[in-house]
């Protein structure tokens, strides 16, 4: 399964798609990226005259790349070309260290902790373009094909 096929299977679309690409993927983890465009709708109100990417959006970006894309890859034998994977976030624990501004590109690195009975648990971290740690944590979800 190619990275473009994985991205095509994501159950999201603009403006709620936070995956631009995947740099590396294996049975053990994934590395991907997203650039937060200045016209993202959430910047209009977060914060007035000082736009910052909300933590919930950073968490969503880490979940889409680090959990959902990896989960699709790990379940690749169950997915058909026109299948509609269903993914539910079951838990997350995040720590945030730096803000993400409009036009900033982030990298998400996820390491598989456990994948059993269609439940995936990963250690995730987000880095900015300088390689500085933006956020890190644990994230879990259930996959249904």
Contacts of 49-56 spanning 24+ positions with Cβ under 8 A: 51/101, 51/102, 52/99, 52/100, 52/101, 53/99, 53/100, 53/101, 53/102, 53/104, 55/94, 55/96, 55/135
Q: Which of 3, 20, 35, 46 is catalytic?
A: 46
Q: Is 46 a catalytic residue?
A: yes
Q: How many CA atoms does the CB half-sphere of 17 hold within 13 Å?
A: 12
Catalytic annotation, residues = 46
């Amino acid at each position: 399964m190619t990275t473009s096929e994985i991205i095509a299977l994501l159950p999201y679309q603009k403006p709620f798609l936070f995956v631009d690409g995947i740099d590396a993927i294996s049975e053990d983890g994934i590395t991907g990226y997203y650039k937060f465009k200045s016209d993202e709708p959430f910047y209009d109100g977060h914060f007035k005259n000082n736009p910052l990417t909300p933590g919930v959006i950073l968490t969503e970006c880490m979940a889409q790349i680090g959990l959902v894309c990896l989960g699709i890859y790990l379940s690749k034998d169950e997915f058909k070309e026109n299948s509609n994977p269903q993914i539910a976030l079951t838990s997350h624990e995040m720590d945030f260290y730096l803000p993400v501004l409009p036009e900033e590109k982030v990298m998400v690195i996820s390491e598989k902790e456990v994948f059993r009975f269609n439940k995936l648990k990963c250690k995730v971290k987000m880095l900015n373009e300088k390689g500085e740690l933006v956020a890190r944590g644990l994230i879990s979800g259930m996959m249904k094909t």
